[in-house]
Amino acid sequence: MSVSAEAAAPPANRRVLAALLVLGVALILGGGLATVDAVRKGAAGPPALSPPSARDPLRAEIEAQHAALAARPDDVAGWADLGVLHVESARLGGDPTAYARAEAAVDEALRLAPYGARPLRAKAVLANARHEFEIGLRAAQAAVAAEPGVASPYGPLVDALLELGRYDEATTAVQTMVDLRPDLASYARVAYVRELRGDLVGATTAMEAAQQAASRPADVAFARFQLGELAWQQGRLDEADAAYQAAARLDSRSLDPPAGIAKVLGARGDLTGAAATLAPVIDRAPTPGLVVQLAELERAAGDTAGADRHEALLGAQRRLFQANGVVLDLELAVHSADTGIGLPRGLEEARNAYRSRPSVFAADALAWQLHAAGRSAEAIRYADEALRLGTPRASFRWHRSEIRRSLGDVTGADQDLRATIGLNSRFSPLLAGAVERAAANPLP
């Protein structure tokens, strides 16, 4: 499948806050770094944060990998794979201390085989997960060089290039990846590249191909969720909701489908129902993105106390994630500008994000933060840059519309407002009312 082919191709509560603070203390005291020594001594790794569950296949896989490494401690591939499993555990469980365990495993793999493709790929996956994309890029490039003609190292390579705003190189790399192995991983990245370049129809076709290539229920759920995201970007709420619901049925452990369902509920005006959908997910895995989403839903619903509690949780998360080497500048900068909370720090975070990962998303975040600081004349350059690929994001269009409006560019503001409405006027519970008011009261 060609990356640029047209679509005709077939295929906190307080308990959570307290838990986060305890995890932070545990990290400071050195917990979570004992993976290598524990395995070499035949133990099952660092103390578990909760009892094993037969319903948690990832946990079982990690424990099985520990047991295998206790028997074969010089297994390079085993250490690399354990590192990737811990990264996945951090993503699914909202526990950033898993990154320390991932790092210990990856470092052991690299000690045993410094130039091995598998350890280098695992290093790239870990670096990307921590948003250290320059490190991820170099490791992925080394993995590709160590294992020419193999598709898997191209995954983290494409991811790093996209986050660094190197879109032409990413397009070339993803084309090589899908040519080498047309599977779920490569088709999903084809879909994302097409989406970024404004081809939503082609992106949908590629993601449908990814779904057809999936075999495990969790992989099918991932593809279904991504199809829901593509429908969401186009304001097709019923279609998005159906995809999110299907993904939730296929994979009850994934955090993404409930977040999608909550988005749709919020867009339909059921802010209370949306918040109720998210709350138990955050109890299970308090990831920053979910906490931001819940805080914004609560603020839009007038639940200031609830929103303030979750803003406090977000602050604790920021510290804990940073202590584990994860940079959240980009993720928090847009939220700061949307809410008006912590604007000076938000602008600094947006600048840091743009310097370290100059993607269209970082350009948009910086533009929105500059506008919030009353510096729209500076912001317009970055708002234009955010749309340089034609990425069909309602938020990008709305941000530029407001920036243009503040600069007196009535025609440009109206064009972007119409584009916002044509995509998804209810992309944000906090901003939906402002979009509606702007549409009802056009500038003269």
Alpha helices in 200-303 (DSSP H): 200-213, 217-233, 237-250, 256-267, 271-284, 288-300
C-alpha–C-alpha distance, residues 166 and 253, integer Å: 33
The low-confidence residues of the chain, meaning pLDDT below 50, are: 6-35, 41-54
CATH code reported for the domain at 328-444: 1.25.40.10
Residue 352, burial from CB neighbour count under 10 angstroms (0-12, 13-18, 19+): middle
Structural tokens at position 313: 């949780």
Cα–Cα distance, 399 to 293 (Å, whole number): 18
Query: pTM of the prediction?
Result: 0.88
Report residue 325 CA to chain centroid gap: 16
Three-class DSSP labels, 139-205:
HHHHHHHHCCCCCCCHHHHHHHHHHCCCHHHHHHHHHHHHHHCCCHHHHHHHHHHHHHCCCHHHHHH
C-alpha distances in Å from residue 62, one per residue of 86, 156, 185: 7, 21, 22
Q: For residue 320, give the 3-state DSSP assignment.
A: helix
Q: Going by C-beta distance under 8 Å and a sequence separation of 6 or more, which residues neighbour residue 329?
A: 349, 350, 352, 353, 356
Q: Cβ distance 184 to 213 under 8 Å?
A: yes
pLDDT number for residue 160: 98
Are 251 and 243 a contacting pair, CB within 8 Å? no
| Pairwise CA distance, residues 290 & 271, whole Å | 15
- 49, two tokens: 């944060």
Q: What secondary structure, in 3-state letters, does 60-95 show?
A: HHHHHHHHHHHHCCCCHHHHHHHHHHHHHHHHHHCC
Rounded to the nearest 10 degrees, the angle between the axes of helix 343-356 and helix 329-339 is 140
- The pair of structure tokens assigned to 261 is 């369902």
Looking at this protein, which amino acid is placed at residue 46? P
Structure tokens at 233: 């970007």
| HSE-CB for 251 with a 13 A CA cutoff | 22
Rounded to whole angstroms, how far apart are CA atoms 19 and 4?
46
CA–CA gap between residue 176 and residue 173 (Å, rounded) = 5
Looking at residue 36, its pLDDT comes to 54
Amino acid identity, residue 444? P
- What was the pLDDT predicted at 26? 34
- Residue 48 is given by DSSP the state P
